Structure 1
Amino acid sequence: MEFHHVSVLRSETIDNLMTDPNGIYVDCTLGGGGHSRALADRLQPGALLIGLDQDADAIAAASARLEGIVCRHRLVQRNFSSLSDVLDEMNIDAVDGVMFDLGVSSYQLDTPERGFSYMQDGPLDMRMDRSQNKSAYDVVNTYSEADLYRIIREYGEERWAKRIASFIAAARREKPVERTEELVQIIKHAIPAGARKDGPHPAKRTFQAIRIEVNDELGILRESVEAAAHRLKPGGHICVITFHSLEDRIVKQAFKLMATDCICPPDLPVCVCGHKAILQKKSHVIVPSEAELEQNPRARSAKLRVGIHL
């Protein structure tokens, strides 16, 4: 299957990211290369574009999409938590811009064998990096009922988390849960019929929670965003696109902390923390236009936050 992904907030991201057409830029979530291609089309031959992605399929697709661009580019199969290591290996101290698009690609969602989708049957996988050991199968079949409840409640913000965890635990006592469709049916049986009539697909929040757990998406996010901001040149920009409230809260808090000088308790008469702001955050959050939402309904929950290195 072709790696297809509709880049969300593409022009808004590039408009806010690019400061120097001959600069150094990092796309921390390369995906199919949509944002990178849009950026590269505005860069000069002296610029360098670095793309990171832990998914080998994404690296291959982006490599094809970036054919013919005039700027230099390096694509690396690494998780964005390795950004500082990658820059060190390239002997790059600071960059002009860094972008993160934290959404799951359309390719990953629409390829049944990747196991991300609650709309198509496939193996319980959900690994963005398919060389890692832990998959959705392991989470569903080996985590305790208490841990399943915690994950579904915290990462999925699912009100029926306790019943869903209980139903999963009961089902796997009969046989391992191996397919996405099996899990969808368990979730549907766990959620009362009346609660399934309105709102998103009943399995959406649980699948989101398991995917986050499999890929440790929230565990690495804050540190990665802060590390990226620290590698910016003065005046360099960081752009982060989030797709759900947990991600957005982490990014918002990280930006707020990096835009604050003193973080001492307010009752201290003098500052003892020595914390200094490194970032100026743009006050408004950028969301997709109605025209973009008509073309790509999956963009509905997207939010773009922008910071500028002081």
Structure 2
Amino acid sequence: MNNNVHIPVLLHQVLAFLKPTSGDVVLDCTLGAGGHAKEIAKLIGPNGHLYGIDADERNLSIAKENLKDISNITFIHDNFENLEEIGERVLKERGAVHGILMDLGLSSLHIDQPERGFSHRFEGPLDMRFDPRQNLTAADIVNTYSIKDLQELFSTYSQERYAHRIAKRIADDRPFTTTSELKSSIEASVPLAPRRRWRIPGRKGVHPSVTRVFQALRIATNREIEVLGHGLHGAVNVLSPGGRIVVISYHSVEDRIVKNVFRDAKKEGQLELLTKKPLEADTEETATNVRARSAKLRAARKV
């Protein structure tokens, strides 16, 4: 894999709503490979400063290499769940926070590392942790959670139609250690008729239930919903008046949380909504960047 290849999602829309200008202080809360950060750094110039935050130390290493020619950036190995504390330190150092970006979910960097266990496409351990320092893994969840808890997890985080059947089959088949073992168990739990309809000539890939269950496990492993809630509230609190926040989500559970936090902050007189409905990528972008197909962007301005 070439770590330097990275296509940032909805880049033009991010820059249009974030409006980074010379001298601004911007927090990129999910730095990844640094695709958005590179363009933001150009616009804020040498008088501005960018803080690149990522919970994944491997991502930070890649970003540092990709952004090695940019001097006005500070790299922070932390989870944006702690954004309020991070933001308060930035305010002491810089005096203001003019922009905050969150590009949520799974990056292509994670998918392309089989040893991380994020993708059903590759054989690997059932890990799925963004930050290897944490204890809980996806294997812990599938091997120890009750059928009821697994069903609730799959229903809540991925709206999985066959949540109960899959949870029961997992309980019957466990323990699991690899992605391929879990993939086989999920596929076997889907009723025969839907499996046959899916396996028509010319159709590639696994049954959608596999993708949805892997998504739910990743969300649970990394406490993504709880992290997002804390991060959004922290962002609202540390953003300076007139500052902007842009959030890109990739599934309905995330987007609903962003929508509700923004709505509540508007009611409290903290935010002005800049997007009435989430923006999506056009056909030109989705044709060249698969990750953009499910992306939804919301933006707001601090009052």
What TM-score, normalized by structure 1, do the two folds share? 0.90
After superposition, give the CA deviation of every residue in 1:158-201 in whole Å (9 maximum; x if it has no partner).
010000000000001xxx20000000000000001322334963
Query: Which residue of 2 is the match for residue 74 of structure 1?
Result: 74
Residue among 105, 114, 117 paired with 2:116: 114
1:280 aligned onto 2:272: yes
Name the counterpart of 2:191: 192
Q: 1:284 to 1:166 in 2, by over 3 A?
A: closer
Q: Structure 1, residues 141-164: CA drift from partner, whole Å, max 9, x if none?
A: 111111111101111110100000
Looking at structure 2, the residues matched to 80 and 306 of structure 1 have their Cα atoms a distance apart, in angstroms, of 17
**Which has the larger displacement, 146-155 or 190-199?**
190-199
Could you say what secondary structure the match of 2:241 adopts? strand
Contact conserved, 1:149 with 1:162, CA < 8 A, in 2? yes
1:308 aligns with 2:301: yes
Alignment of 1:202 onto 2:209 = yes
Cα offsets for 1:112-155 (capped at 9, x unmatched): 11100011111100000011111011011111111111101111
- The answer on 1:32 being equivalent to 2:33 is yes
**Match runs of 1:245-284 below 5 Å:** 245-260=252-267, 276-282=268-274, 283-284=276-277
Cα distance in 1 for partners of 2:234, 2:207 equals 35
Matched with 1:14 is 15
Tell me the residue number matched to 1:133. Answer: 135
In the TM superposition, structure 1's runs of 4+ consecutive aligned residues that sit over 4 Å from their partners are none
Contact kept? 2:160, 2:209, Cα under 8 Å: no
Within 2, Cα distance between the matches of 1:182 and 1:142? Answer: 16
Residue 242 of structure 2 aligns to a residue whose secondary structure is strand
Which residue number in structure 1 is paired with residue 244 of structure 2?
A: 237
Amino acid at match of 2:284: A
Partner of 1:272: none
Gaps of 5+ in 1: 261-275
Taking a change above 3 Å as real, the CA distance of residues 218 and 180 of structure 1, as seen in their structure-2 partners, is same
1:158 partner SS: coil
CA contact (8 A) 2:129 2:218 kept: yes
How far apart, CA to CA, are the structure 2 residues paired with 1:159 and 1:77? 37
> Could you tell me how far 1:86 is from its partner in structure 2?
1.8
CA, structure 1 residues 94+200, in 2 after alignment: closer, same or farther (shift >3 Å)?
Answer: farther
Distance in 1 of aligned mates of 2:16 and 2:65 = 24
Call closer, same or farther: CA 1:32–1:207 in 2, change over 3 Å: same
- Which amino acid in 2 is paired with 1:253? N
Would the aligned equivalents of 1:2 and 1:107 in 2 still touch at CA under 8 Å? no
* Separation in structure 1 between the aligned mates of residue 223 and residue 170 of structure 2, nearest angstrom: 21
Query: Contact 2:14/2:246 (CA < 8 Å) preserved in 1?
Result: yes
Secondary structure class of the residue paired with 1:307: strand
> Which structure dedicates a bigger proportion of its chain to helix?
2
Separation of aligned partners in 2, 1:135 and 1:200: 24
How far does residue 107 in structure 1 lie from its aligned partner after superposition? 1.4
The 5 A counterparts of 1:162-177 are 162-172=164-174, 176-177=175-176
Structure 1 stretch 188-197 or stretch 103-112: which is displaced more? 188-197
Question: Which residue in 1 is equivalent to 2:290?
Answer: 297
Q: 1:85-114 CA deviation, whole Å, 9 max, x = no partner?
A: 123334245300000000211010121111
CA distance in 2, matches of 1:108, 1:284: 29
Q: Does the Cα contact within 8 Å between 1:19 and 1:236 map onto a contact in 2? A: no
Question: For residues 12 and 219 of structure 1, what CA distance do their matches in structure 2 show?
Answer: 26
Unpaired segments ≥5 residues, structure 2:
199-205
Aligned residue number for residue 227 of structure 1: 234
**Alpha-carbon shift at residue 2 of structure 1 (Å):** 4.2
Separation in structure 2 between the aligned mates of residue 285 and residue 159 of structure 1, nearest angstrom: 25
Q: Give the structure 1 partner of residue 83 of structure 2.
A: 83
Distance in 2 of aligned mates of 1:6 and 1:144? 39
**Aligned residue pairs: how many?**
291
**Greater displacement, 246-255 / 78-87:** 78-87
Q: List per-residue Cα deviations over 1:243-287 (Å, max 9, x = no partner).
A: 000000000011110111xxxxxxxxxxxxxxx311001224211
Give the CA deviation at 1:225. Answer: 0.8
2:21–2:43 contact (8 Å) kept in structure 1: no
Corresponding residue SS for 1:88: helix
